[in-house]
Amino acid sequence: MSEAARVELTILGHALTVRSEAPADYLRSLAAFLEERVASLRTGGVRDADTALILAALDIADELFRARDDVSRREGDVSARLGALVSLLEEHVAPKNS
């Protein structure tokens, strides 16, 4: 595991120091992503930067929750398919009598 390092970020003109084990470039890409989302909302008519930031955070959280639900649903589908395959194999494979 790598050691936590301090990374200086600027988001919407606010300087922020983040301590993280994640690479600095990755953290900067997250900040850029957030700023892009805020800029998109501001272009769409949201005038207040704080409101745009909150709306962007809610939108990103919504995406995260939907992605988690999709993963859970897919994992459930895979488990169900594997269970069905195991049942089919058990039906067609005779137990060995020693």
Domain boundaries along the sequence of the chain: 5-92
Q: What is the Cα–Cα distance from 94 to 68, expressed in whole angstroms? A: 40
Q: What is the Cα–Cα distance from 62 to 81, expressed in whole angstroms? A: 29
List the chain pLDDT tens, one digit each, 98 residues: 678 999 999 999 999 999 999 999 999 999 999 999 999 999 999 999 999 999 999 999 999 999 998 888 877 777 778 777 787 777 788 666 55
End-to-end CA distance of the chain: 50
The one-letter code for the residue type at 67 is: A
